[in-house]
Structures are given as C-alpha cells and as structure tokens.
Amino acid sequence: MDILIAGVGGQGTILASKILAYAAVIEGRKARTGETIGMSQRGGCVVSHVRTGGSHSPYIPVGGADLLLSFEPCEGARNIAYLKKGGKAAINTASITPVSTALGLSAYDGDKMMKYIAENSKAVFIDANKLAKESGSIKAVNSVLIGAAFGLGVLDLSEESLRQSMKKNIKPSFLDLNMRAFHSGVKEVEEMRTKC
C-alpha cells in the first residue's frame, strides 16, 4: 500500500508517516518512508511517502498512491497527481495562506482546490485543526488525519497496530491527547460515511 502525506513544513507530516510505517512493521511487514527534511521545512511544501508493499525505492510513482492524506487543501491539490485514479483522500480543510498570496503575487482559492480534489478522487474533507484543538493541541492534526484514514476503511492496518505504533512514536505525556485526536478523526469520517 502506498500513502502520500502532504502538508506545510512544521505540521508534523514526518511523525504521521513514521506511525503508519511502524504499524506495518508491527504487523510483520516491511515498510519504507521518504521524507522532506531541510530548507523546505521552513513553511514550504513538504511530502512524506509511506510504502508498505515491499518496494525497493521510498518514493511513490505518479499515479501510484492508494491514499492521499493532506494537512492542507492547497498541498492536497498540488500532490493529487500521485493519487491513483479513483484513489481515496482525507483532506484537512484548514488552510495556510502562503506569503506569496498575502503579497498578492499568487491567488489562493481553497474552495476551488477542494472541489478539484473532490472531482478527482474519493475524498473526505474534515476540519482537522478544530478536532485537534478540541483534543488538546493543534499539534495533533497528524493523529486526527491518521484517524480519518482509518475511518475511511482504506488502511491495511489494524487499529491495535496503529495504537501500538502511536505509543512507541509519541512522547508518553502527549499520547492521551493524540489518541483522543485519532478517535475524533475516526468518528468524524464514520459519521460522514453514514450520512452519505
């Protein structure tokens, strides 16, 4: 399974990828991730690739991802080419306006971008920032989105493996709030699915 995680530097995409990859290892499989670390981390575009299917290279080909998790609408749209046709996506609706937009150098139309994602994938849109804050910290957006992915029923990972992986990769003092964030993501998506 190939998962592409997109976001803005500083949002915590790397931890999300590690949690997913390690959950696969717990289930006895081999996993790889490919990260963006360095200059782009300063508020630039970041992506993490997670591959659990025994690939040799860490980077997902264009049109190869089974799932797109995006921490931000524009970054979801920017990376949609990685998604398989008809692939699933979980998108955080909370936008981060780039400085280029504030300066009037490029336009940012979040609604248009989300519409484009919706037209080209099976996507759910959730306000992960709000759910993370309600769980105790804005930093838990990654756990909300992992929850959303699980709620979508697309992950080939059990809830128990994810829980164990979160326990291993998150500092004990932040674990409870991240577990709450995870469950809020699961619940949000499951409620959306029943409504549909």
From CA 53, how far away is CA 117, in angstroms rounded? Answer: 25
174 in contact with other proteins (CB under 8 A): no
Looking at 5, 16, 69, 74, which residue binds other proteins (CB under 8 A)? 74
Choices 115-123, 144-152, 176-184, 187-195 (CB under 8 A): range interacting with other proteins: 115-123
71 in contact with other proteins (CB under 8 A): no
From CA 160, how far away is CA 166, in angstroms rounded? Answer: 10
CB-based contact 76:68 (threshold 8 Å): yes
Structure tokens belonging to residue 116: 């484009």
Pairing verdict, β 65-70 and 32-34: unpaired
Choices 57-65, 147-155, 156-164, 173-181 (CB under 8 A): range interacting with other proteins: 57-65
3-state secondary structure 44-62: CEEEEEEECCCCCCCCCCC
**Rounded to a whole number, what is the distance in angstroms from the first to the last CA of the chain?**
26
Could you tell me which of 137, 149, 146, 142 has the C-alpha nearest to residue 177? Answer: 137
Choices 72-80, 142-150, 154-162, 172-180 (CB under 8 A): range interacting with other proteins: 72-80
153 in contact with other proteins (CB under 8 A): no
Looking at 5, 15, 47, 96, which residue binds other proteins (CB under 8 A)? 96
> Closest approach of Cβ 20 to other proteins, in Å?
10
CB-based contact 178:166 (threshold 8 Å): yes
CB nearer to other proteins: pick between 57 and 158? 57
Question: Which residues of this chain interact with other proteins, rule CB under 8 A?
Answer: 8-10, 18, 21-22, 25, 30-45, 49, 55-64, 74-75, 77-78, 80-83, 85, 96-103, 105-109, 112-113, 116, 120-121, 129, 138
